[in-house]
Amino acid sequence: MNKNNSEILSAVQKFGTPSYIYDGEKLVQNYKNLVNALPECVDVFYALKVNPNVSLVKLLRSNGACTEVCSITEMEIALKAGSTPEDIVYLGPCKKDYELKKAIELNIFAIVIESEIELKRVSAFAKEMDIIANVAIRINPDFSAEGSPWKMGGRPTHFGIEEQHAIENFQVYLDTPNINVRGIHVYNGTNILEAKSVYENTKYILELYETIVRKYNCKFTMVDVGGGMGVPYFQNQEELDTQEFRNLMVPLFTNFNKKYPETRIIMESGRLIIGTSGCMAVQVNNMKTNHGKIFAVTDGGTNCHSAAAGSGRVVKRNFPMENISALPTAQEHKYQVSGPLCSPDDIIGRNIQLKEINVLDILLVKLSGAYGPTSSPGLFHSHGYPAEILLYQGESYLIRSKDSTDDIINKQIMVDFKKNELILN
C-alpha cells in the first residue's frame, strides 16, 4: 500500500473503524505488473474469493481483468462489476442446483467440474434447457506444489477428480450429452513465493493437458493452470521475483501457445493482485498491563481479520503493523494487540514492537487486502463486518458500510412461542 498515513487517517476519521482501506492505484499496478510478466496469450482471471467487493472488482475489470467465481453471489458481483459471461469461470466443490442452472443459462466460459456426479447434474440440466454447457474438468494432480503452505493437490482433497482416474475415464466426460469439455483446470497450492515452484507447477499442468489431448485425439479450447502466487507476510520471507517469474513463464506459455493456438490459457490470481493494496485500521479502546505484558485492546480483531490473528496456524506470526497516529519521535515498546472478543486467541499482534500506543490511537495491519473480512467470523459477539474504504485518484470512497446492530438483528426471526403454548387445566 502506497498511500501516506495522513490520507489513511483522514479516511478513518471520515468513515470510522474497524475498517479495511484499499489503495486503488496499487491494486491496478499489481494487476498490470502480473499481466506484463506474462505473454499476451495468457488471460489473468481475478479470484473473487480473496476479496469480492464490487468496486474493487469493477476497478480491476475496467483494466482488463477476467473473473473467477466460487458462488452464485460472486457471479452476480462479477456481472454487476462489468464482467461478461465469456470472461467468467465458476469453481467450487458444492454448487447448488439453482447455481448450476444459472451458470448454464448465462453461458459462462466454463463451469469447472469437481466430480463425475456434478458432471452428470450439469448434463441433465443442460438437456432440460436444450443447451450445450461449457465445462472444464478439474483434476487433482499427483504432483504437489513445492513452496506452498497450503497444498491443494497431490493429496486426498474434496477438489477435483484424481489424476489417474480422470485420464482413464476422460472419454466418458467427452461423450457426456449436452456437454462441451473446453479443457482442464488444476490448482495446486496457494501463497507460493518461489517463481520456480510456479513454473514447475504450470509445466506439469500443461504436460497433463497434452497427455489427455494425445490419448483421446481431442481438441481443447481452454487450460486453467491456477496460480497461487503469494505475498510475503512475515519476516525472512521474500516477495516473488517478478523478473525470474517472467523469464520462466514467458517461454513456457509461448511455446505451448504455438502448439495449441486455439487454446485459451487462464492463470488465476487473487492474493498477489490485492494482498499488498489493502490494510485494516483499528482504534485502540483500552490499555492495560497483565502479567508484565502491555495490552492494547482494539475494536477489530479475529472477527475482522482472522488471518492476522493466525487462525488455522500452529505458529502465530505477526503481520506488519504500525501505529500511524503516534508522534514521529515516539519511543517503541513491545505490545500485545488484541481485539474486542472474549477469546484468548483474539490477538492480532504478539510481542510486537510499535511506537508508543495510547487510547484512541489508530493501528494499521498491513498486507491485508486478501482474505480479510471474507474469511473472518464477522458475527462473533455480533460485532458484524467492518467498513471498507477505497482511496483512489485523490478521493476516498465508502465501498461497504460497517454492519449496524439493525443489520444483524433484522436478519433474525423471533418465534412467537405463545401460539404453541399448551393451556393446562
User: Residues 383-410: what's their mean pLDDT?
Assistant: 96
> Do the domain assignments include residue 166?
yes
329 and 394 in a single domain? The answer is yes
| Confidence class for position 148, pLDDT limits 50, 70, 90 | very low
| Confidence class for position 151, pLDDT limits 50, 70, 90 | very low
CATH number, domain with residue 355: 2.40.37.10
User: Residues 242-258: what's their mean pLDDT?
Assistant: 97
Question: In this predicted structure, what is the pLDDT of residue 366?
Answer: 96
> Do the domain assignments include residue 28?
no
Measured between alpha carbons, how far is 336 from 130 in angstroms, rounded to an integer? 61
CATH number, domain with residue 217: 3.20.20.10
Q: Answer whether 59's CB lies under 8 Å from 392's CB.
A: yes
Mean pLDDT, the chain, as a whole number? 93
Q: Answer whether 341's CB lies under 8 Å from 381's CB.
A: yes
Q: Answer whether 388's CB lies under 8 Å from 368's CB.
A: no
Question: In this predicted structure, what is the pLDDT of residue 38?
Answer: 98
> Do the domain assignments include residue 395?
yes
What domain range is 313 assigned to? 276-409
Q: Which residues, 6 or more positions from 393, have their beta carbon under 8 angstroms from its beta carbon?
A: 24, 25
> Do the domain assignments include residue 52?
no
pLDDT above 90 for 302: yes
Amino acid in position 222: M
User: Residues 7-28: what's their mean pLDDT?
Assistant: 97
| Confidence class for position 422, pLDDT limits 50, 70, 90 | low
pLDDT digits (tens, 9 = 90+) for 177-202: 999 999 999 987 778 999 999 999 99
Question: In this predicted structure, what is the pLDDT of residue 420?
Answer: 63
pLDDT above 80 for 4: yes
Measured between alpha carbons, how far is 193 from 272 in angstroms, rounded to an integer? 10
Tracing cell 512475515 back to the chain, one arrives at 234
Tracing cell 487462525 back to the chain, one arrives at 311
152 and 283 in a single domain? The answer is no
| Confidence class for position 425, pLDDT limits 50, 70, 90 | very low
Q: How far is CA 193 from CA 1, 70, 101, 154, 239, in A?
A: 19, 24, 38, 19, 6
> Do the domain assignments include residue 246?
yes
Total tally of structural domains belonging to the chain: 2
> Do the domain assignments include residue 42?
no
Measured between alpha carbons, how far is 66 from 43 in angstroms, rounded to an integer? 7
331 and 253 in a single domain? The answer is no
Rg (CA), the chain: 24
Question: In this predicted structure, what is the pLDDT of residue 360?
Answer: 97
Q: How far is CA 7 from CA 10, 120, 184, 189, 363, in A?
A: 5, 53, 45, 36, 14
234 and 319 in a single domain? The answer is no
**Percentage with pLDDT > 70 across the chain:** 95
pLDDT above 70 for 154: no
Q: How many CB atoms lie within 10 A of CB 55?
A: 17
Of 253, 269, 285, the domain-final residue: 269
Which segment of 30-39, 45-54, 268-277, 373-382 scores lowest on mean pLDDT?
A: 373-382
Q: How far is CA 99 from CA 89, 108, 307, in A?
A: 13, 12, 29
282 and 402 in a single domain? The answer is yes
Indicate the SS3 state at residue 246. Answer: helix
Indicate the SS3 state at residue 254. Answer: helix
196 and 123 in a single domain? The answer is yes
CA 283, chain centre distance (Å): 26
pLDDT above 80 for 415: yes
133 and 163 in a single domain? The answer is yes
Query: Nearest Cα to 371, choosing from 320, 311, 299, 315?
Result: 311
User: Residues 219-247: what's their mean pLDDT?
Assistant: 93
User: Residues 130-154: what's their mean pLDDT?
Assistant: 75
| Confidence class for position 234, pLDDT limits 50, 70, 90 | confident
User: Residues 304-310: what's their mean pLDDT?
Assistant: 90
217 and 306 in a single domain? The answer is no
The more confident residue out of 62 and 307 is 62
The more confident residue out of 143 and 170 is 170
| Confidence class for position 159, pLDDT limits 50, 70, 90 | confident
pLDDT above 60 for 313: yes
**Which span out of 147-156, 192-201, 352-361, 369-378 was modeled with the highest average pLDDT?**
352-361
pLDDT above 80 for 423: no
Question: In this predicted structure, what is the pLDDT of residue 150?
Answer: 46
